[in-house]
Structure formats: structure tokens, C-alpha cells
Structure 1
Amino acid sequence: MAKLAPIRATLRPLDLPQHLFEVELVVPAEALASGAVAALPAWTPGSYLVRDYARFVDRVRILEGRRERSLEKLDKQRWRLPASKRDLVLRYRVYGNDLTVRTNHVDAAHAQIIPAATFLYLEDQLDRPVEVRFEGFPGDWKVASALPQKQGACLAKDFDTLVDSPFELGAFRTRSFKTGGTAFELVFTGSHNGDEGRMAEATRKIVEAAGAIFGGFPFKRYVFFFAFTPKLRGGLEHRDCTSLIADSHAFDKPEGYFALYQLVAHEFFHAWNVKRLHDPALGPFDYSRENPTKMLWFHEGLTSYMEHVIVSRAGVVPWGHTSKELAKCWSEQVQRPGRLEQSLEESSWDAWIRFYKQHEFSPNSSVSYYDKGEMVAWLMDAALREGSHGKAGLTDLFALLWTRHGETGLTDADVRQAFQKLSGKDPGPFWDAYISGRAELDPAPLRRAFGLAMEARAPWESLGPEEARDPAAQRRARSWTGLVLASNGPTIQNVIPGSPAARAGLSYGMEILAVDGWRTTTAAEAQRYLADSGPGGRVAVLVADRGRVLAVDVPVIESPDRSHRLTADPRAGTAQRTAFSLSYGQAFPSAPVKRSGRR
């Protein structure tokens, strides 16, 4: 088969402070014999939402030599290119001022280029190579990419590879290390209050812990892109690199590092789970529309759990922190009303229209395939340990799937078969309960498999010593109306279905003006006044709803809310302690020593 002529792409700055740059594509004549259709992706793999990147593109022109040719726009993101015996030059302007892992961001300090949001492709010619060059940017800027570079160009063997290879331009800082025959590069952009040497060393340990699960790495070079900016956090996986964003000011305490390490572990584990070991629906892609799958619970939910396993095995996050994270997620999932409404498979399939487009009622009608999937992964790890008498866990499931399927495609049936082989159990009941079904999460397997006990505590059981002796504080802690208020004021954010507030007719967006005659200006004030009467009482609530003021009588009942704490059972046997160590790479946690204080 003859080698295809590449599309030659050149990016140039137009006005960096105004976040504008130009893209020039030289389309080879061989691609235009009968004309072609150029299109911009509507979304980027790993982030399952149609983002309509074409809204950031304008001034689209096509040139043949110096002569401008006519160009027909077919729809929001497609243009018809004329037939030509010569190369044609396609030029357009792009606006990039959204610093996320999914969108372009260019300014006077740096340029982050997300290929899906930047490069047009030729329909039915996704296998055509693309060469990318950068011209006219500041002289002290460097270019970082997972793509190989030759004679000043970054080379993508096809469009899928290009989309999976973001670029960072600027005066960034770099570190590197080698392990397992693979070179790892770390690119740091933006100022922060952390220690990059500490981050690099933890990343090395994470990489080694993940690689040990699969017996090595499926690449010879991998790039971590670290971007730091205030109050943001996010990550997006790629085949040979990952993009990470962290809060610039998070590293004044250990928890800031722990959160970053979990993010690194999560995105790096995706190098196997979803980028290579994946549902066939997730590659090759149709970039023009949604690509739904029922397996995001597996690709994202299980990865969310594995991030804890990996940082624990790597020794970069203590079990005390991990146990709090797991217990917090458990609390959120067992109290989310939507757990009774949507299964993990349904959550996965509807990600495009529900998870990424949430509204006020979403907590009551849906679950997150990330968070609920994380908890189900934990239970799956326990089920595997129980069924195999401690010999196999979730890490072994992934290793088996990698050995069996690699990059050939992965189905739900394949996962079930691997589960059955390792556990000796019929996977049907587990899937019916937790993946296609909506069963309540059961903590019992965690105790049986790992010796971990999930303790539920009511709000009044969590009061400090002074408040516990205060009858008024006890009364308020027991009170509940089912109202969830926004953090920035006494505005109703959610109303729990079936709660007293719901039965009283309160709804989303209403502003609480007063409770029992007392003016409320903050959410804390409103919640305090709502709780003053205690269970069995009633409160008179004055609310504003689209300009109208209403008086509503709301009953108060005892709170059904529970928080959870994960503890190590001191009675755990050898099998449980061994299973814990095999899963998490640490010794079974010892019970805290209780000290008696002086009187």
C-alpha cells in the first residue's frame, strides 16, 4: 500500500494576549482528486460531551496558490473542499481562552493546544498522517509533545494519534526519569507553592506500581503535562501522555500532594484501562457525534478505585487518608437519592446528556459512574478476594484482561468471564445487583474480605464533647427537612424527594427569606433556624419564588443522614490481613491507641 501524503499543519500566533492563533493546513492534491469534506471534531476522547469546538473557529478560507477558492460550509463543523490537482491551503482563526484539559488556552505566558479543538480532518481519510509545526511564537518558548519530532515537525501517523497528543508551548520546566525501559518526561507549567522534585519522585513510584500490575509498559516514552492554576483540578488521559491541572495553592499541606498523586495515578492507569483495553465503541471514534457505551463504569469507575490502590502500593499516600476518602465517597453514594433511579450501565450510556449536563434534579435521578463505580469496584475487589480465598483481587482481574485481550477490544462478557475465572463465582448476581441493577451498597463483604468495617454515624453522634452535652445542639443535629442549600446564600439547591420540604412544596431556586420570623441572609443561618425546633416541630418559612413571596409551613423530622468511618477490625484474621496487604501493598492497619486524658 502506497504511503499517504501528509497534511502539513502550521500554527502561528495572531494575538496571544487576546488568545488568538491561526491554523494553516496544506492539504495534498492526492486527497482532493474528487474534492473532500473537512470537519472539526465535536468532542474529545475521554470527555464524553459534545462541546462543539467549531464555535471557537472563524475566518475559514481556502487558497490555491494565491487565489482564493470558494468554500461551502455544510453544517456547524464541516466544510466542502473543491476538487483540485494542486495542494490547497486551508486557513482559519482559533480562539482559546479556557484552561481545562479539554480546551485550548493561549496567552502571553504559554499555549496549550488540544488537537480535537484545533485541527480539521478529512472525512474518510482519518488514516492520513499529519505533520505539525509552530512558527512565530516567542523565541524562548519550547514545544512539548508525546509525538516524535523530526526537523522541527511533530509527526502523527494518523488523525487519531494527533487527537491523542496535546501540545504545550512556553518556557515550561521539565524533569525526567527512566524505569522499565521507558522514558518518562514531566512538563510543569504555571507557578505553585509545591515541590516539583517531590512530585516527580512520587510520580516515579506511581508509575512503577502501575506498571507492576501489567508486567511493564506498552510504550517507550510517556509525558506528564502538569499545569497549575488557582482553584482548578482535572485530568485527561491519552495513549502516551496525560494532561493534569492542579490548584496552584494546594501544596501548603500534605492533602494537596495526596490529591495530585491520586490524579496522576488515575490518569496514568488509563494508559491501559480505556486507551488500550477498551470497549470497541471507544475507538476508532466518530468525532462528529456521541459514541455511547455502557462500560464507563468499568473504564472510569474502576479506575477511580484503582487510583487508591496504586498510590497505596506506591507508598505515596497513607492509608489513613485513603480510608477517609473511601468512607466519604461511600457516605455520598448511600445517601444520594438517584441511587434508586439509575444503574451504572444507564449512567454510562447517558453520560453524554446527563452526567456532563446536570441540572437541579440530577442528584435525585442519577448516579455518577465515577463515584458509584468506584464503590462497586471496591466491592468487586472484595468479591474476588472472597471467592479466590484471598489469592486474587481487582489488580489480578486487570492483569488477566490485559493478557487475554490487550488492545483487541473488551466487552462486558469478557469482564464477566475474567471475574468468574478468578473468583469461581457466577458473575450474574453481582452484575444484577450493582451494574445493571440498583441494589444498595453492602459493606459486609469489605469486613469479610479485608477486615474493614464501615461504621455509620448519625449527625448527633458526631458532635464534639461540649455540643454533645448541649440539649439545643443535640436537637439541631437531629433535625431534618430535606433541604439542600447553595453555598453562597439561602437559595434552595436541592429538595430530597419525599422529604418534609418536598411535601410542603418547596423547590429549586427558591430563596429563603425568613424562618419563624427571623431574617436569613446566609445558608448557615437558614439551616440553623430550620433546625431550632427539633424533630416533631414545624417551622414557618418565607420564600421568594420568581419575584413572588410565599409562606410555607414545613414539618421537621429526625435526620436520616449518616456519615461513615472506615476502621480496621482488630479481630481480623490472618486471611483478611493478608488479603488487605495483597490489594493495597501495605500492612494491615493497626487500631489507634486510645489514651486516657488527665482530669
Structure 2
Amino acid sequence: MRFFFYLTLGFLLSAADAPMLAPIKVTILPVNLAQHQIEVHLTLPSDLLNEGGTLALPAWTPGSYLIRDYAKFVDQVQILKGEPLVKVDKQQWKVPPHQGALTIRYRVYGNLMSVRENYIDESQAHLIGTNTFMYAPNHLERPYEISFKGFPASWKIACGLLDKEGVVRAANYDLLVDSPIQIGTFRSHQWESQGARFELAITGDHNGDESRLVRDIEKIVNETGKIFGNFPFKKYVFLLGFSPNTRGGLEHLQSTSLLSDPFRFDKEEGYYTLYQLVAHEFFHAWNVKRIKDVVLGPFDYSKENYTKLLWFHEGFTSYMEHQIVNRAGVVPWKYSIKQYENLWNLVAQHPGRLSQSLEESSFDTWIRYYQQNEWTEVSSISYYDHGELTGWLMEAEIVEGSKGQWGLKDLFRELWINHGTQGITDADIQKVYEKLSGKPSAPFWDQYIRRSSAPNSKTLASVFGLKFKFETPTDRLSEDEKKNLQIVERSKVYAGIRFQGESSGGTNIISSVIPGGPADQAGLSVGYEILFVNGWRTLSASEVNKRIADAKLGETVKIVASHRGRQKVLNLVVSENPLKSLKLEFAKSASPEAQKNFSDWSGHSFLP
């Protein structure tokens, strides 16, 4: 592993035989923090673009696959004490010929509390490189030095590239924009592990136990390090911010940006969901930042960069986050089992599950996952959720084939040892899968990755000693509810429609129609507003569902709907609900081998 540590540094940070290039020097100044504005002074050295050229700002940020056109938050681009630069297109400006160094100034606006965009106010500045720093196309290898001037004296700086002088130094542009910067009065917690220094910079108040957060995040770090043997960096920074109704994370080479709701820690689940987020983004320090599809870097920041491996880079990372927090002892099995049940139900019941493969979902993320519309639910899948479940299924295949000797974590370790930061292909993953499982890869890839098939629980159940119980809505009623015939009959009714905002109450406007279901056969469609059901006025999703449930199986329900200002009357024949939900239990008949597999896999004891 030591070889790969030096390979990583040599590839990303410096090269002994490369000529020393004069850096692009940048100074960041506050303009009007209350109005979310900073000013950037970018000085080109005398040997860069002295015959003229262009400067550009990225259209997207790695890890978030959507064209966001960050130049819309930049203006007043001009030579310092000189003329404005001529804009060439939406994200490029023309630099005139010059002798000696040339300083360009521009204003940056940031008011999106996100891990993908800048956020600036009078209390902090969270700066994303792709939003902030211009680059010279064809000169991405040029080093950068970032200094800060004029900010409040009490403000500190946190960044994976920050040196002792308070300067952010990046060996090239790719590394610069892969290193978010936090400025403000954050609380800094630091520790060391296996020769690496870690910092947790926390911005914002919250109702949790901060000492517990620090302690448990350190456990997550250590557990992840065990998978790979050591850390591929000397320093790593967690930038954790709190803001109401937020949750998100974005991976970087030696840091991560994290957002969490500050009021979720009144319940244990608040800690658990944050720990999963931390584990997910930290595991990305290997999977996608170093173990990555060969097409994911160096990047073209001006347009989409396509990959078919996001099911592996994102979906499998979502799976591994559970393994890490369980084995670190910071999340109990009773919580995780519900996560696995919900995951199975989400994937197995998803209307679009047979319309798109994981490879297609990965490739089309630019226009599907990140740009969802009313057709998305019935035509697309998420490489996060479906990839996560596929990771669990692959884990079982490897454990079964190796008789409990290997698992998915060993697949990642093998890829890291054999490929390091050189990049991987789908064929490389298949080769390691075959080595560890002793099985040909084609059947698994054809069933779950190249095509879209319903998940099969047989191997999971036998390998981990679990009982997969699939229950109808009627099965899930309480014993008292089952004694009430009316409740039992209503639980069986199915219309095959979903409504806007249904998870939080919902409107009476249809968001999706399940293909082949009663609503589809009746002629209902996305955007229809359900006004009356059998003559009863319906104002919400709940009221529509209740009035449809008044009917018995096979009966016809009269629907009055509005669509584009016109009234429509349709007849819907209710059918029996075909959806079944998973309930996981320990199998009392599980073999000793299965019980050991479960403990090794989950980090918890097998307790039937």
C-alpha cells in the first residue's frame, strides 16, 4: 500500500521531472458579505497567455452531474484598473496580449446553501472551486496559490490544501477545484490516525452532542481505513455545516462538504443518518476519487463527462456506508434492518425498474436523474438506490462463492491494490468479481447491470441466514385491525396512482400512473387533478385514496378530473393491490456458516 500512497501523491501533487511552473495567484476579498458577494483578483504570471487567450469558469462540478453554468454568478470581469474583458460565450472571456503579469478581477455571488454552490454571508463563506476560480483552457496543469484579504479577524480557514501560512496551494486546477474552502468562525476538532491528520470543521449551531459526533466520526474514519490498510493522504478535512431542512454531501480528494439539519438530534435517527452521510462521502476518497472510471478525470469542465459506472461509484458507496457504520458500532442493526427493508421495497416497487438498466441510468444521469420530470418515475431508475441493492446482491454472491472468505470490501481492496489511481474499467471490476467469487461475471452483469431485472432474494437469504417475508398491505395490519372486515377490505384496494407531495400529505394532482394499473387502464395521466370520486369532492391525495378505497374489489369508481382547464369523466375499476413489502427476520434454521457470514457482514451478532 505504501507504493500506491506515493503513486497518488506523485500523480496528483507533483512530479519530480516536471518543469516548475509559475503559479496563478489569487486573492479573495469580501465585497459585501451581507449581500453574498466576494471579489476575486486572479493574477496570471508573465509566461501564461502573454499572447492572448481565454479564461473560463466551469459549467459543472465533479460529483454532481448536471450543467449548472456557474458563470451566471460572476460579473464585472475586467483587467484590474483597466478595461472589461470581452465575453466569448456563456463561460469564457478573452484575455488580451500582455507583457508581464496580468491581474483580472471579477465579482462572485453565492447564496445557495448547498455542497455544489457557493454560500456567502456575514457569518461564513463556503467556497466551491468550480464556482469561484477561473482557469486557462489547455493550461490545467498550472499551479494555484489562494490568499485571503480583508475578512473579519476572527475568521479562520479550513481546506485540505491549506498550509501553515494560511495560503491554499494547489499543484494544478483539478486539485484546486477538488478542495472546497470554509471561511468563518467554525469549531475545529482535530485528531490523527495511521499517520494522517484529520480535521472536522463545524459551522452552525445544532441540538446534538458535538463530542459524540467527533468521537463517532473518528470511529467511522478508522473503520474505513481498515478496509484499505491505510490512508492515501496526509491530511483530510470534513467541512460540516448545519442549516434547517438540508442534507447533502459532496466528495473531494482529501476533504468533503457536508450539510445537515441542525434539529434532527432529538432522536437517535438524526445521528444515524448523519453518520451514514459521513461514511458515504469518506468512502468516496477511494471509490470515485481514486478508484475511478478512466473517463472521470482529467475533466472537461465545459461540458458533460459521461460514464457508465455511477452504479459502482455511487450505488456501491451507498451500500458500503451501511457496512462501515455498522462495523464501527455507531449504528445499531435494528436501525439498519429497516434501511435494508426500505431499500428493497423502494427498488422492487419502483415503476421504472424494468425500463432502464444501471448502465443506462449512469450514462443518462445528466438528463435523467439530475433533471427529473413527470415521466421520470415510470421510465428511469436511480443508480444510487438500485446500485446500492445490487451491491448487496453482489456481496452475497462473493460470500457464497468464496465460502465466507471474501466480501465486497475485498473487491474494493483488490481494485485499490491492483489499480491505485490509474483508473478502472467495467472489465476490471468483473475480473476481480470472478477472482473472489469463483463465478463467471456475465450472468450477474446481464441480470442486474446491463439489463433491468427484479431482485432475487434467494442467495441473500441463504448466505446471511435471513428470512425474507413479503407482506401485502393486509398482512401488515395489526391483529386488532384484521378483526375489522371493513379495514381488511379497504387495505386490498389498488388504483395505481401517485400524487404530488404524497409523502407529506399530498395534493389531488397526479404525479405518476403505474403502467398497466387501474388508473392507466381508465385513461388517467400525469397532471390530472382529481376533483370528485363517486360524487365526493376530493381536495388532497388522502381524500382521493380514501374515497377510492370505499369501493370493493372489481367495482367501478367514477372519477371527475380536470386537465388543462377541461373536465373529464372516467371510470376506474379497482383491483387488488399487487405490491408486497419486505420484512427481514433471522432464520431460526440458519446454519452456523450463515450465522458467521451475517456477523462478518453486519458487524453484529446473529440473534434469532
- Asked whether the 8 Å contact 1:395–1:583 carries over to 2, the reply is no
Q: CA offset at residue 549 of structure 1?
A: 2.1
Q: Does 1:500 find its partner at 2:514?
A: no
Partner of 1:512: 530
In structure 1, the partner of 2:27 is 10
- Is 1:174 paired with 2:192? no
**Match of residue 241 from structure 1:** 255
Match of residue 212 from structure 1 = 226
Q: How does 1:57-456 map to 2 (within 5 A)?
A: 57-63=74-80, 66=81, 68-69=82-83, 71-456=85-470
The answer (yes or no) to whether the contact 2:76–2:84 under 8 Å persists in 1 is no
Q: Distance in 2 between matches of 1:548 and 1:465?
A: 45
Give the conservation status (yes or no) of the 8 Å contact 2:159–2:237: yes
Give me the whole-angstrom Cα distance separating, in 2, the residues matched to 1:264 and 1:150.
26
Instruction: State the 1:439 CA deviation.
Output: 1.7
Distance in 1, Cα, partners of 2:293 & 2:19: 31
C-alpha distance in 1 between matches for 2:458 and 2:439:
17
Aligned 8 A contact 1:364 1:496 in 2:
yes
- Alpha-carbon deviation of 1:36? 2.1
8 A contact 2:493–2:574 mirrored in 1 = yes
**1:3-28 per-position Cα deviation (integer Å, ceiling 9, x unaligned):** 11111111112211211111110111
Distance 1:259 1:70 in 2: 48
Deviations 1:19-73 (A, max 9, x none): 111111011121023212111011111111111111111111124xx4x246221
- Residue number in structure 1 paired with 2:545: 527
Greater mean alpha carbon deviation, residues 301-310 or residues 526-535:
526-535
Give the Cα separation in 2 of the matches to 1:586 and 1:202.
17
More displaced 10-residue stretch of structure 1: 367-376 or 478-487 = 478-487
- CA positional deviation for 1:150: 4.7
**Range moving further from structure 2, 2-11 or 245-254:** 2-11
User: One-letter code of the match for 2:471?
Assistant: R
- Contact 1:258 1:317 survives alignment (8 Å): yes
Give the Å deviation of 1:424.
Answer: 0.8
- Is 1:536 the counterpart of 2:554 in the alignment? yes
> SS in structure 2 opposite 1:120?
coil
Distance (whole Å) between structure 2 residues aligned to residue 152 and residue 308 of structure 1: 36
Q: Quick check: 1:25 aligned with 2:42?
A: yes
Question: What TM-score results when the alignment is normalised by the length of structure 1?
Answer: 0.96
Pair 1:50 & 2:67 matched: yes
- CA–CA separation in structure 1 for the residues paired with 2:282 and 2:299: 21
AA of the residue aligned to 1:88: L
Which amino acid in the other structure matches residue 239 of structure 1? Answer: L
User: In structure 2, what residue type is equivalent to 1:250?
Assistant: R
Structure 2 Cα separation of the partners of residues 454 and 107 of structure 1: 51
Deviation at 1:467, TM superposition (A): 2.0
Tell me if the contact between 2:196 and 2:236 (Cα under 8 Å) persists in the aligned partners.
Answer: yes
**Unpaired runs of at least 5, structure 2:** 1-17
User: Take 1:311 and 1:570, find their aligned partners in 2: how far apart are those partners?
Assistant: 26
2:190 is paired with a residue whose SS is strand
Q: Is the CA contact (8 Å cut-off) linking 1:472 and 1:532 kept in structure 2?
A: no
Name the residue aligned to 1:594.
none
SS of the counterpart of 1:430?
A: helix
Paired amino acid for 1:9:
V
Greater shift after overlay, 370-379 or 484-493?
Answer: 484-493
User: Which of 574, 578, 583 is matched with 2:596 structurally?
Assistant: 578
Q: Which amino acid in 2 is paired with 1:102?
A: R
2:53 equivalent in structure 1: 36
- Give the Cα–Cα distance (whole angstroms) in 2 for the partners of residues 192 and 544 of structure 1: 45
User: Following the alignment from structure 1 to structure 2, what is the Cα–Cα distance between the partners of residues 584 and 279?
Assistant: 28
* Matching residue's letter, 1:127: E
Count of residue correspondences = 587
Aligned equivalent of 2:6:
none
What SS does the corresponding residue of 1:461 show, helix, strand or coil?
coil
Contact 2:162 2:169 in 1 (8 A): yes
Identity, in percent, stands at 49
Q: Report Cα offsets for 1:385-434 as digits up to 9, x if no partner.
A: 01111111101111111111111111111111101111111111101111
Q: CA deviation at 1:170?
A: 0.9
For 1:595, the equivalent position in structure 2 comes to none
State whether residues 327 and 454 of structure 1, in contact with CA within 8 Å, keep that contact through their aligned partners in structure 2.
no
Which runs of structure 2 are paired with 1:539-558 in the superposition (5 Å)? Answer: 539-558=557-576
Counterpart Cα distance in 2 of 1:393 and 1:151: 44
CA contact (8 A) 2:208 2:266 kept: yes
Is the Cα contact below 8 Å between 1:400 and 1:418 reproduced in 2? yes
User: Counterpart of 1:30 in 2: which secondary structure?
Assistant: coil
Aligned partner letter, 1:60? V
Deviation at 1:123, TM superposition (A): 0.6
Q: Which runs of 4+ in 1 moved over 4 A?
A: none
**8 Å contact 1:443–1:453 — kept in the other structure?**
no
- Code of the residue aligned with 1:395 in structure 2: it is K
Give the match's secondary structure for 2:230. coil
Shift of 1:562: 1.4
* Counterpart Cα distance in 2 of 1:579 and 1:83: 67
Amino acid at match of 1:212: K
Matched residues in 2 for 1:563 and 1:307: separation? 23
- Rounded Cα–Cα distance in structure 2 between residues aligned with 1:192 and 1:547: 47
Q: Is the 8 A contact 2:157 2:166 kept in 1?
A: no
Give 1:86 deviation, angstroms.
Answer: 1.9
Quote the offset at 1:495 in angstroms. Answer: 0.7
AA at the equivalent of 1:259: T
Distance 1:275 1:586 in 2: 30
Letter aligned with residue 75 of structure 1: D
For 2:571 and 2:160, how far apart are their aligned partners in 1?
61
Q: Report the secondary structure of 1:340's partner residue.
A: coil
- SS for the counterpart of 1:580 is helix
Cα distance in 1 for partners of 2:479, 2:511 equals 31
**Contact 1:475–1:532 (8 Å) recurs in 2:** no
Q: Say what the alpha-carbon RMSD is for the aligned residues.
A: 1.2
Q: Report the equivalent of 2:483.
A: 469
Q: How far apart, CA to CA, are the structure 2 residues paired with 1:427 and 1:437?
A: 14
Counterpart amino acid of 1:7?
A: I
TM-score, structure 2 normalization: 0.95
